[in-house]
Amino acid sequence: MSQSVRLAILGATGAVGTEILELLIQRQFPLSSLKLLASSRSAGKTLTFGGETLEIEAVNENSFRDVDIVLASAGGSTSKAWAKTIVNSGATMIDNSSAFRMDAGVPLVVPEINPGSVASHRGIIANPNCTTILLGVAIWPLHQVQPLKRVVVSTYQSASGAGARAMEEVKNQARAILDGKNPPTESFPYPLAFNLFPHNTPINEAGYCEEEMKMVNETRKIFNEPDLKLSATCVRVPVLRAHSEAVNLEFARPFPVSLARELIQKAPGVQLVENWQKNYFPMPIDATGKDDVLVGRIRQDLSNENGLELWLCGDQIRKGAALNAVQIAELLVKKNLVRPRVVSL
């Protein structure tokens, strides 16, 4: 990467924002300048980056005038509020919220799956939902060889999906319960420590929650398979970081388990983790802090000769959010697409 980039992180103090800072250093992202933006509540605070102390600025109308790429991880309402300003300033926004994911004119990108989609951006590129990214990276190598007919997935989602405060809340809940006290609940509607519950996003008339429909609609868009049959059940579990998913895949004809393992081993962004003798397969503690999605326990579906089962774990904050966004930024630099084609909203 020869092009130097003027980068801004919107939502720099959050769990994803601080992870982005680490990744920029680790991946030697070509920065010419870095601006840390957040709400007025965080203005004046500092974060360390590469041995330097950077001050956080309150986002305002002039924040993006000298910026090429904005990595936005401050929530959907913030992304919507600043999108026009960002694009009209000439910058490209890589948005980690759900605000623009299903907009027809906004590419929804997982670099291991549809890197070419970034070429169609008009100032905004959307980062998919964390569970969608992890699922997609794991099953795309198989879909390329033999198209999927149906996907049934159950997720086991950690507290990190709700941010840094939620992770801290689970720790406080565990301490309270062990001390015989009532656990505090602020980030979640129910105690998550020593408990689990279906994902607490709004439920539609069909009985599916918003998180489950994100997986359905986003996977179809990323795969460019609008009719792909996919059903999801999303569950919050008392794990601090890294999501897990149990996945059932159906194809038009039998898919050899040996071929599936071979494809997973060769595919970018995934790592095969299987020790059948020790009953050792991907776990959240193994996936935490890792770039790759860990995949294992690949087996024939006993109920369907055309079916496969697999299990995966992936770091929600890393590949499920921060890393995917940084990889998109890297694609823009590599393809010389940093500046949007249309700079007017």
- Cβ neighbours of 250 (radius 10 Å): 16
Catalytic residue among 121, 130, 143, 199: 130
- Reference 154, options 221, 211, 113; nearest CA is 211
**Total residues belonging to the chain:** 345
Phi-psi region of 82 (alpha: psi -120 to 50; beta: other; left: phi over 0): alpha
* Alpha carbon distances (Å) from 111 to 107, 136, 173, 270: 11, 11, 37, 13
- Token match 């999906």: residue? 161
The tokens for 58 are 């309150």
Distance (Å, rounded) from C-alpha 261 to C-alpha 281? Answer: 13
Going through the chain in order, the beta strands assigned E by DSSP cover: 5-10, 31-38, 46-49, 52-55, 57-58, 69-72, 92-95, 124-126, 148-157, 197-198, 229-236, 243-251, 270-272, 293-300, 307-314
Distance (Å, rounded) from C-alpha 284 to C-alpha 156? Answer: 10
Question: How far does Cα 106 stand from its chain's mean position?
Answer: 17
User: Is residue 130 flagged as an active site residue?
Assistant: yes
The tokens for 7 are 């980068």
Distance (Å, rounded) from C-alpha 113 to C-alpha 80? Answer: 26
Q: Helix crossing, 130-145 with 210-223: angle to 10°?
A: 40
User: Is residue 243 flagged as an active site residue?
Assistant: yes
Catalytic residue among 121, 143, 199, 243: 243
248, 309 Cβ separation under 8 angstroms: yes
Phi-psi region of 297 (alpha: psi -120 to 50; beta: other; left: phi over 0): left
Catalytically active residues are 130, 243
